[in-house]
Amino acid sequence: MDWTPNDWIIVFFFVTGALLHGITGFGYPIVGTAVIAGFYPLKTAVAMVVLPCLVINIMMLRTGEGFKHNLITYGRAFFPLFASSFIGGLIGIGLLLFLPEGSLKIFLCITLLFYVFTQYSRFRIRFKTDRKTMAVFGFVAGIVGGATNAIVAFLMIYLLGTDRNKTEMVMVNNISILITKLIQIVLLFPVISAFDRKSWLLLSSVIVVSLGFMYVGNHIRHRLPQRIFNHAIAAMLLALGLYAGYQGVAMSG
């Protein structure tokens, strides 16, 4: 495979995203999509992230009590959120396939910046823990995730606003992302099946390397201050959000 500088940039950010995902339980699909969207159409970028992200999420859900236990336990507790995110994900992928790419990149920019803003706002938004509120946030998060791969942006707003603990946040985020990825595999299959040999080799390399760094991140999750990595994630998402916005404005202009 003839590697280009762009390929190395993509691998570097996937590795960074995998490390952060292992430490915090999220970040991999957002970082990967935002970076690849700088070199490919957003539809292709979302499709390229699907398989690596699916593998990462399954491995994350195997931690703790195990995949089956986590899926059943948190599936029952957050069923309205997951069910509504499934419906929202179908709508989001429809937007991905039919809306202009410039508009979607601006939407991605707004989503990422809004997430960063909520993390540094002095006023923490508080939400009820009832099933109706859970369903509403799941639906909106599904639309965002289907269209941009940034489902965690809205989920974290809800989870932080209901004072969920760290384990709940990690599991809910990964199950929600897993649902979105399964929908995307089905609906974006024509895009995925059209990848050339170089793209498949790149994705295979990304998956193998990302799994290694995810395990590293998972190992050091309890060794280093979470706050430092939260700041690192916010800084990266801020930069990638501004870049996506710049591209969106340039395409729309």
- Distance of alpha carbon 4 from alpha carbon 7, whole angstroms: 5
**CB-based burial label for 130 (10 Å; 0-12, 13-18, 19+):** exposed
Tokens read off for 21: 């995902």
Above 80 in pLDDT, residue 149? no
The stretch 114-128 carries a mean pLDDT of 75
- Distance of alpha carbon 35 from alpha carbon 12, whole angstroms: 10
Q: Provide the pLDDT for residue 136.
A: 92
Q: Provide the pLDDT for residue 123.
A: 62
Q: Provide the pLDDT for residue 75.
A: 92
pLDDT in tens, 20-29: 777 777 777 7
Above 70 in pLDDT, residue 245? yes
pLDDT in tens, 68-115: 999 999 999 999 999 999 999 899 888 888 888 788 888 888 888 887
pLDDT in tens, 160-196: 788 787 788 888 988 988 888 888 888 888 888 888 8
Residue type, 228: I
pLDDT in tens, 3-23: 788 888 888 888 888 887 777
- Distance of alpha carbon 18 from alpha carbon 105, whole angstroms: 22
Residue with tokens 């938004």: 125
Answer yes or no: are the C-beta atoms of 100 and 136 closer than 8 Å: no
Above 70 in pLDDT, residue 253? no
- Distance of alpha carbon 69 from alpha carbon 103, whole angstroms: 40
